[in-house]
Structure 1
């Protein structure tokens, strides 16, 4: 009975999200409650609270990570970097594509695809247009970069995977650093390949300094210059490097690190209380959207755990998976995460499928942590999915067709995911 109830719940949950009948927040909250009641479970309060308590540290970390990186972008931390890259690449298509990759990888550290696309496309589109370069490349490279940097601890998929397998985000992600480095090298290699192809097609064109200055000035369009803090560039950069170092070393829990970092950034950059309020209001929308879904996920996981639904579903899968394939479950999860995260939103994958796979893997002696890590390796494909919003920002900025973008970039994104998976196997993160 519980198994049937569980699989029915997942089907309904996925249908409601995929068909856009309900938002991810509403589906995560309402669907498990309805099915738990159908199963005869009435005392749902303690289950929900246990799920919320489990997810609370992650939600706190997300709030202050968004605020921290959002305020840094407001201060103009990336502006000198953008201007420097623009001046370095000149009229060489190879250097332009490589510059696109470097800027994308750095800006994507904030884990926000929309912000990454806005900064990178605004900086490089005039150059691509001036030289007649293929704009699909300018769409492809930032998307590939986001497919890797989306795995940062404050990125959405990492948070969802952490919640799904009930792991600490640092424990989940630190072993994946070799895979992320390999993915970064792959992206730079793809950029070199595409850049050389464009250089062969177009040649190197001389571009005057005045035009480069016009491009750099274009970055300020629509930005309020009064909120930028160029004089504090080195302070903000050093603070960020220290914060990332403390994060990797586990100096303090992530929520505490970002709370402290955000407090320092606000005090130093915006000592006026009214300015601080304005910065908070500017980023409140992003915070509400993300964190509300995280808390809803807490209710979802709390109910399916408390009712025993996820265990019943896992027992069923255990019965049908051959023993020979059991030890290879992490690699299987890594491979299926590519099409799954492309054809469905992250929420149904991480909160609908991964808890079941995690419970199933436990039967074969595989820790849930490894399933969570494997589930993240297909993210490069997710950044090309029509189901995630930032892709429409990207194609809209460039004026290209979404189908053309997906067809052009898919093979390189698959390559990224496979490289990251292979490295994870070689480093013993995934069992085979």
Structure 2
């Protein structure tokens, strides 16, 4: 699910720079935003507002800047509503205990081995990603796995990295957005694009699982000797149990000061306590209020079958696509509140309990409207699309399919899928046809950049993921981007090797 590319609208701009200037401003704007969030100079929400505003003024937006942003926010409103009520719905289901049996099964299967936990995260994220919706995948994966990460003292950044990689790799399924967009833009059938890409998809999944395993091994080494299996029993203060110190940490100055009430952070000295406190802060995570506490007041064990049927009904409605997704979750949340919390005060308490996570996600999605509005309203997207097709020399024409695959990596990150598949791909496909490259081959190449695209701040689902896990978007990017690039390049290379994507005409 990516942010919608709006149609060209005339705005009262102060001046219109040459296309070359717009291209430069567009790239520099996105790179500036990335640098600020990855170096933790600004929060993603603040950067999404301030950086495009400054560059929009440089691009001549003038008095039209406000209209550009409001139009983009209008397009994003359904997405914001979807995420708001999806978080509320699944938050209610977590509170009432629907996912507790699943989490207990996962805990028994994976034990206290961080490597197995990370690999299990990847498998779960991959399985749920088959529905083609990133938001649902990330809500379910986070609700099931984040409690285990926090109890073992593991880094939530590893969770977001693995979940993002798996979901991005599986984003090319024929019922997902990118393949459908490519097919629509070029007048093709999604299955004609997807089926020959199965070897690429399988290889991408293997690489993603290998990355997950090595990340798990890294966590195992970092936590060596400090994992306490008793913390998985839900003992203690009703949340995570009392903090425990190991290996002489009590004698280390400052070690206990860095342990927060309600957190399980096992340390091997003051330095590791500081590191663990930075990585694990349950107060900052949206899924940390009901971490498998078997005595929480919101549990509704007698209603578990009703809640399961309701959730399955919501999922079926999502797949059938009869009603707008936001409305489905609105009705689902309302029914869940009425049945599980019939008293007015309890309903109000439940809504307020999930307000922090909802505000965090929705504010970032709406703030992204500033970036999208400036990109579209000033003409940066159109200028960037035109520039791409002009800078490719004729001598490279026979390699247009591979070039398209490589270009899809940065361009689907910098712009929405709609802008790339409806704005750039048709032009590239038309140019490639003069060299005998079929449109379907160009479409296959164009979807190989999706592992990187899913990490883009223009994708609301990734904003949801990092918000639920309490992870800074910049920290997520530092861990996931280079891995996602490798997965994309491997998928492209396998496509060339098996012949689904031509190396040259």
Query: Which TM-score band (shorter chain)?
Result: 0.5 to 0.7
Q: Deviations over 1:48-67 (max 9, x none)?
A: 44333322222221221222
User: Is the contact made by 1:314 and 1:360 (CA closer than 8 Å) also made in structure 2?
Assistant: yes
Instruction: Give, in angstroms, the shift of residue 215 of structure 1.
Output: 1.5
Instruction: Give, in angstroms, the shift of residue 373 of structure 1.
Output: 5.5
Q: Partner of 2:234: helix, strand, or coil?
A: helix
* Pick aligned residue for 1:6 from 8, 22, 28: 22
CA distance in 2, matches of 1:239, 1:422: 43
1:301 corresponds to 2:347: no
* Pick aligned residue for 1:27 from 50, 55, 58: 50
1:271 corresponds to 2:271: no
Measured at CA, do residues 305 and 94 of structure 1 come closer, stay the same or move farther in structure 2, by a change above 3 Å?
closer
* Pick aligned residue for 2:425 from 330, 337, 361: 361
Measured at CA, do residues 51 and 82 of structure 1 come closer, stay the same or move farther in structure 2, by a change above 3 Å?
closer
User: Is the contact made by 1:24 and 1:293 (CA closer than 8 Å) also made in structure 2?
Assistant: no
Q: Partner of 2:383: helix, strand, or coil?
A: helix
1:84 corresponds to 2:105: yes
- The answer for the alignment partner of 1:238 in structure 2 is 309
Q: Partner of 1:298: helix, strand, or coil?
A: helix
CA distance in 2, matches of 1:362, 1:190: 34
* Pick aligned residue for 1:311 from 340, 358, 382: 382
- The answer for the alignment partner of 2:91 in structure 1 is 70
CA distance in 1, matches of 2:488, 2:494: 10
Instruction: Give, in angstroms, the shift of residue 333 of structure 1.
Output: 3.7
Instruction: Give, in angstroms, the shift of residue 297 of structure 1.
Output: 3.2
Measured at CA, do residues 252 and 301 of structure 1 come closer, stay the same or move farther in structure 2, by a change above 3 Å?
same
* Pick aligned residue for 1:119 from 147, 153, 156: 147
- The answer for the alignment partner of 1:148 in structure 2 is 166
Instruction: Give, in angstroms, the shift of residue 316 of structure 1.
Output: 2.6
User: Is the contact made by 1:326 and 1:361 (CA closer than 8 Å) also made in structure 2?
Assistant: no
| Higher mean C-alpha displacement, 78-87 vs 305-314 | 305-314
Instruction: Give, in angstroms, the shift of residue 181 of structure 1.
Output: 8.2
CA distance in 1, matches of 2:321, 2:364: 26
- The answer for the alignment partner of 2:320 in structure 1 is 249
CA distance in 2, matches of 1:268, 1:283: 18
CA distance in 1, matches of 2:75, 2:470: 33
CA distance in 1, matches of 2:344, 2:317: 28
CA distance in 1, matches of 2:79, 2:374: 18
Measured at CA, do residues 228 and 418 of structure 1 come closer, stay the same or move farther in structure 2, by a change above 3 Å?
farther
Measured at CA, do residues 269 and 180 of structure 1 come closer, stay the same or move farther in structure 2, by a change above 3 Å?
farther
* Structure 2: runs of 5+ lacking an equivalent: 1-16, 129-134, 185-189, 222-227, 241-261, 263-288, 291-295, 431-438
Measured at CA, do residues 4 and 101 of structure 1 come closer, stay the same or move farther in structure 2, by a change above 3 Å?
closer
- The total of aligned residue pairs comes to 378
Q: Deviations over 1:323-370 (max 9, x none)?
A: 525555652244447xx96xxxxxxx346x984786333423589x99
CA distance in 2, matches of 1:214, 1:354: 46
- TM, length-normalised to structure 1: 0.63
Measured at CA, do residues 392 and 292 of structure 1 come closer, stay the same or move farther in structure 2, by a change above 3 Å?
closer
* Pick aligned residue for 2:232 from 208, 215, 221: 215
Q: Partner of 1:275: helix, strand, or coil?
A: helix
Q: Partner of 1:226: helix, strand, or coil?
A: coil
Instruction: Give, in angstroms, the shift of residue 121 of structure 1.
Output: 1.1
| Counterparts of residues 32-43 of structure 1 (less than 5 Å) | 33-36=56-59, 38=60, 42-43=63-64
Instruction: Give, in angstroms, the shift of residue 111 of structure 1.
Output: 1.8
> 1 or 2, which has the higher helix percentage?
1
- The answer for the alignment partner of 1:18 in structure 2 is 35
Q: Deviations over 1:279-328 (max 9, x none)?
A: 22222233233323333333443444344343233323321124525555
User: Is the contact made by 2:381 and 2:419 (CA closer than 8 Å) also made in structure 1?
Assistant: yes
| Counterparts of residues 191-210 of structure 1 (less than 5 Å) | none
Instruction: Kindly report the root-mean-square deviation, in angstroms, between the aligned alpha carbons of the 2 structures.
Output: 5.5
Q: Partner of 1:332: helix, strand, or coil?
A: helix
Instruction: Give, in angstroms, the shift of residue 243 of structure 1.
Output: 2.1
User: Is the contact made by 1:425 and 1:431 (CA closer than 8 Å) also made in structure 2?
Assistant: yes
- The answer for the alignment partner of 1:332 in structure 2 is 406
Measured at CA, do residues 32 and 270 of structure 1 come closer, stay the same or move farther in structure 2, by a change above 3 Å?
farther
